[in-house]
Amino acid sequence: MTQPAVEARALRKEYGNRVAVSDVDLTVHPGDVFGYLGPNGAGKTTSLRMMLGLIQPTAGSVRLFGRDPQDDPVRALDGVAGFVEDPTFYPYLSGRANLELLSALDGGVDRERIVEVLEIVELWSRAADRVRGYSHGMRQRLGIAAALLRRPKLLLLDEPTTGLDPGGMRDMRELVRALAGEGITVLLSSHLMVEVEALCNRLAVIQTGRIRFEGGLDELLGRSDSRYRLETTDQARALEVCRAAAGVHDLAQENGQIRFAGDRADAASLSIELGRSGVGIHALVPEGASLEDLFFQLTEGGAE
């Protein structure tokens, strides 16, 4: 049976009386692009630090491909790479020299791999420039290049698009997609819902140190009733029919359109009732709940 790439169970971290992470359970399967979504200060970075063995949990356990980074960090981190918070380099050295130094510290300079990773992150043309002249986005990409030196099976990235302009965010997303396409499992921590929705197949939502949801993106998006937009030949009469229809709720009128929530059977029954009432339908369009809507339901509504 294939071991999970990441398996956290009852993971907890306390700093004095403050609980930063409380009984976190999550599972990242090989091949996932797994989003770890939560507001700033929710416990994402602390969780990642425990997963990488950078800090010791107060309680609970982490396994990376079945290995504990606390008990056997060398073996557990074999095939694992990434960065937590901003990657740091020697600013007076070039991008290439920084990677040569990191490669040497990891067992020997692999110059062919250095060239390869610089090309992957599209920094080869600036490889000879000192890092102090790099933009924030270039330093983020150099951080990924450094992680890729180890040919990882699992890549953990903590807020890789923070501080980037829209073009830099787009480039970073395209890079993550390309790495996932190469078969690398990615655990992506973020507070940006559009980023997670664009990249991830599975996710966990964390708030105040607790997991509020873990599962497939499709599963989360399908948890609530769909919303619909309705345009008819007689909006006033249609609104009366909607108010009387079973299962139809959260009615609203916006810009001459009717919007409501309900499941597919409710919407189908409503269309029949509108026809019986002599109301013609110009449009009955489903509008699924956005990840942003569901995120706020989970983190502000206290849902588990």
Within-domain flag for 304:
no
Same domain, 21 and 132: yes
- The DSSP secondary-structure symbol of 187 reads E
Q: Which domain holds residue 240?
A: 226-288
- Whether 191 and 44 map to the same domain: the answer is yes
Q: What is the CATH number of the domain that holds 213?
A: 3.40.50.300
Q: What is the DSSP code string of 62-92?
A: EEETTB-TTT-HHHHTTTEEEESSS----TT
Cβ neighbours of 130 (radius 10 Å): 16
- 169 with 267, same domain: the answer is no
Do 62 and 95 form a contact (C-beta atoms < 8 A)?
no
Pairing of strands 154-158, 185-190: parallel
Asked if the structure places residue 295 within a domain, the reply is: no
Are residues 243 and 97 part of one domain? no
Do 140 and 236 lie in one domain? The reply is no
According to DSSP, the residues that pair with 204 across neighbouring strands are: 36, 214
- Are 206 and 85 found together in one domain? yes
Q: Mark whether 204 and 262 lie in a shared domain.
A: no
Q: Kindly tell me the number of DSSP H helices and DSSP E strands found in the chain.
A: 11, 13
Alpha-carbon distances of 299 from 8, 26, 47, 96, rounded to whole Å: 21, 17, 18, 42
Q: What is the pLDDT of residues 167-211, one digit of tens each?
A: 888 989 999 999 999 999 999 998 888 888 889 999 999 998 999
Listed residue (268, 208, 244, 258) closest to 39, CA to CA: 208
pLDDT, position 301: 55
75-117 tens-digit pLDDT: 999 999 988 888 899 999 999 999 999 999 888 888 999 999 9
Residues 108-134: what's their mean pLDDT? Answer: 94
Average the pLDDT over 288-295 and give the result: 74
Q: Looking at residue 286, what is its pLDDT?
A: 80
CA dihedral 117, 92, 167, 153 (to 10 degrees): 30
Q: For residues 234 and 282, what is the distance between their CA atoms, to the nearest angstrom?
A: 10
Number of domains in the chain: 2
* Residue at 303 is within a domain: no
Does residue 297 sit within a domain? no
Q: Is 301 among the domain residues?
A: no
Handedness of CA 192, 82, 185, 68 (dihedral sign): negative
